[in-house]
Amino acid sequence: MKPKISQEAKAMAAQCRHYAMCKIDYLGTGLCSAGVEKPYVSYFPQGRMDICHALSEGLLRLTPALVDIAQSCTLCGVCDLQCHFVTGMRPMKVMRELKEYVEARLAEGEAVTNVAEDESLKRLRAIVGPDWATNDPAILLTYSDDPFPLAGPRMPRYVVLPGSRDEVAAAVSLANVLRLPFAIRGNGGSVFGFVFTDGIVLDMNRMKKIEIDAGNWSASVEPGVTSFELQKEAFGRGFRVNAAEPAATVCGNIVCTGTFSTWSNVYGTAADGFIDMEFVDRSGKIFRLNDKSSPNIFAFEKDVLPSPGICTEAVVKLQPVTDDEEGVLVPFGDFREAVRFARDLGRRRIGLAVAVLGSHYIANFLSPSKDLAARLKKALPDVLGINYAVFVVGDQFARDSIYKMAGTVIDSRLLRTLMLGLPKLLDREWLDLVRGLEGGRPLYEVLARPEIRPLLEAALAPSPEAIAGSVDEDLRDLYAKLYARPEMTDMVWLNMFRIVSARMSRHKHMFAFLVYVPLDDGRVIDEIISGFARIAEGQGLEHDYGFLTPMDFGKRAILEYDYYIDHTDEAEKARIGRAMVEIDPWLEGLSEKHKGVLFLKYVFSQGCSRKENFLYR
Partner 1 sequence: MRISPEKLSDRRRDRTSRILLTGGTGFLGSHLAGALLREGYEVILLARSSKGVTAEERMGRLFGWLGLSAGDRKKLSVVDGEIVRPRLGLDDREYERLAGVIDEIVHCASDTSFSIRKKSEVEAANIGALGNILDLAASSGCASFHLVSTAYVAGKNEGLCREALVRPDAFHNAYEETKCAAEWLARERCRKEGIRLSIYRPSIVCGDSRTGRSLLFNAVYYPVRTALFLKDLFEKDIREKGGKRARPMGIKLEEAGAVHLPIRIEVREGAGVNVIPVDHFVKAFLVLMAETPDGGVFHIVNRRIKPIEDIVEYAKKMFGLRGIEACRAEAFKDKACNGLEVLFDTYLEAYGPYMRDARVFATDASGPLLEKHSLVSPEFDYELFSKCMAYAVESGWGARLFP
Q: Applying CB under 8 A, which of residues 58, 215, 236, 436 lies at the interface with partner 1?
A: 436
Residue 455 in the binding site for partner 1 (CB under 8 A): yes
Residue 177 in the binding site for partner 1 (CB under 8 A): no
Between 236 and 439, whose beta carbon lies closer to partner 1?
A: 439
Between 432 and 472, whose beta carbon lies closer to partner 1?
A: 432
Least Cβ distance, residue 409 to partner 1 (angstroms): 17
Number of residues that bind partner 1 (CB under 8 A): 24
Least Cβ distance, residue 456 to partner 1 (angstroms): 8
Residue 449 in the binding site for partner 1 (CB under 8 A): yes
Between 292 and 428, whose beta carbon lies closer to partner 1?
A: 428
For residues 396 and 407, give the distance between their C-alpha atoms in angstroms, rounded to a whole number: 18
356: left (phi > 0), else alpha (psi -120 to 50), else beta?
A: beta
Residue 442 in the binding site for partner 1 (CB under 8 A): yes
- Percent helix / strand / coil, the chain, rounded to 5: 45, 15, 35
Q: Applying CB under 8 A, which of residues 446, 484, 533, 580 lies at the interface with partner 1?
A: 446
- Residue 534 CB contacts under 8 Å (≥ 6 apart), including other chains: none
For residues 419 and 338, give the distance between their C-alpha atoms in angstroms, rounded to a whole number: 22
For 494, what's the count of Cα atoms within 13 Å in the CB-facing half-sphere?
26
Between 21 and 386, whose beta carbon lies closer to partner 1?
A: 386
Residue 416 in the binding site for partner 1 (CB under 8 A): no
Residue 438 in the binding site for partner 1 (CB under 8 A): yes
Q: Applying CB under 8 A, which of residues 126, 150, 304, 433 lies at the interface with partner 1?
A: 433
Closest CA to 158 of 200, 195, 130, 196: 200
Contact 140, 159 (CB under 8 A): yes
Q: Applying CB under 8 A, which of residues 441, 534, 593, 617 lies at the interface with partner 1?
A: 441
The alpha carbon torsion through 277, 189, 171, 257 (nearest 10 deg) reads -30
Residue 437 in the binding site for partner 1 (CB under 8 A): yes
Least Cβ distance, residue 464 to partner 1 (angstroms): 17
Class of residue 189 by CB neighbours under 10 A (exposed 0-12, middle 13-18, buried 19+): buried
How many Cβ atoms are within 10 Å of 601's Cβ, its own excluded? 15
Contact 492, 325 (CB under 8 A): yes
Between 430 and 602, whose beta carbon lies closer to partner 1?
A: 430
- What would you report as the CA-atom Rg of the chain, rounded to the nearest whole angstrom? 24
Residues forming a β-bridge with 517: 557
What single DSSP character describes residue 248? S
Least Cβ distance, residue 513 to partner 1 (angstroms): 29
Q: How many residues does the chain have?
A: 617
554: left (phi > 0), else alpha (psi -120 to 50), else beta?
A: left
Closest CA to 550 of 352, 301, 284, 299: 352
Residue 432 in the binding site for partner 1 (CB under 8 A): yes
Contact 338, 356 (CB under 8 A): yes
Q: Applying CB under 8 A, which of residues 147, 385, 464, 554 lies at the interface with partner 1?
A: 385
Q: Applying CB under 8 A, which of residues 107, 116, 458, 571 lies at the interface with partner 1?
A: 458
Q: Applying CB under 8 A, which of residues 100, 457, 520, 612 lies at the interface with partner 1?
A: 457
Residues 459-478: x/- map of binding to partner 1 (CB under 8 A)? x-------------------
For residue 320, the SS3 value is: strand
95: left (phi > 0), else alpha (psi -120 to 50), else beta?
A: alpha
For residues 352 and 322, give the distance between their C-alpha atoms in angstroms, rounded to a whole number: 11
Closest CA to 248 of 217, 222, 226, 268: 226
Residues 319-378 that bind partner 1 (CB under 8 A): 333
241: left (phi > 0), else alpha (psi -120 to 50), else beta?
A: beta
Residues 269-308 that bind partner 1 (CB under 8 A): none
Between 422 and 447, whose beta carbon lies closer to partner 1?
A: 447
Residue 309 in the binding site for partner 1 (CB under 8 A): no
Distance spanning both ends of the chain, measured CA to CA = 66
Between 171 and 418, whose beta carbon lies closer to partner 1?
A: 418
For residues 163 and 314, give the distance between their C-alpha atoms in angstroms, rounded to a whole number: 16
Between 117 and 465, whose beta carbon lies closer to partner 1?
A: 465
Least Cβ distance, residue 449 to partner 1 (angstroms): 6
Q: Applying CB under 8 A, which of residues 59, 304, 452, 574 lies at the interface with partner 1?
A: 452
DSSP H or E run through 263: none
Residue 112 in the binding site for partner 1 (CB under 8 A): no
Q: Applying CB under 8 A, which of residues 439, 473, 585, 592 lies at the interface with partner 1?
A: 439
Between 458 and 571, whose beta carbon lies closer to partner 1?
A: 458
Interface stretch with partner 1, choices 187-195, 279-287, 453-461, 576-584 (CB under 8 A): 453-461
Between 213 and 334, whose beta carbon lies closer to partner 1?
A: 334
Between 387 and 606, whose beta carbon lies closer to partner 1?
A: 387
Least Cβ distance, residue 420 to partner 1 (angstroms): 15
Between 116 and 458, whose beta carbon lies closer to partner 1?
A: 458
Residue 28 in the binding site for partner 1 (CB under 8 A): no
Residue 534 in the binding site for partner 1 (CB under 8 A): no
For residues 345 and 333, give the distance between their C-alpha atoms in angstroms, rounded to a whole number: 18
How many Cβ atoms are within 10 Å of 585's Cβ, its own excluded? 9
Interface stretch with partner 1, choices 171-179, 198-206, 233-241, 425-433 (CB under 8 A): 425-433
Least Cβ distance, residue 436 to partner 1 (angstroms): 5
Between 177 and 437, whose beta carbon lies closer to partner 1?
A: 437
Interface stretch with partner 1, choices 9-17, 399-407, 437-445, 511-519 (CB under 8 A): 437-445
Residue 423 in the binding site for partner 1 (CB under 8 A): no
Q: Applying CB under 8 A, which of residues 108, 119, 323, 451 lies at the interface with partner 1?
A: 451
- Residue 250 CB contacts under 8 Å (≥ 6 apart), including other chains: 221, 223, 225, 226, 227, 230, 241, 243, 244, 259, 314, 316
Least Cβ distance, residue 429 to partner 1 (angstroms): 7
Least Cβ distance, residue 466 to partner 1 (angstroms): 14
Give the interface with partner 1 as residue ranges (CB under 8 A).
Answer: 333, 385, 428-429, 432-433, 436-442, 446, 449, 451-459
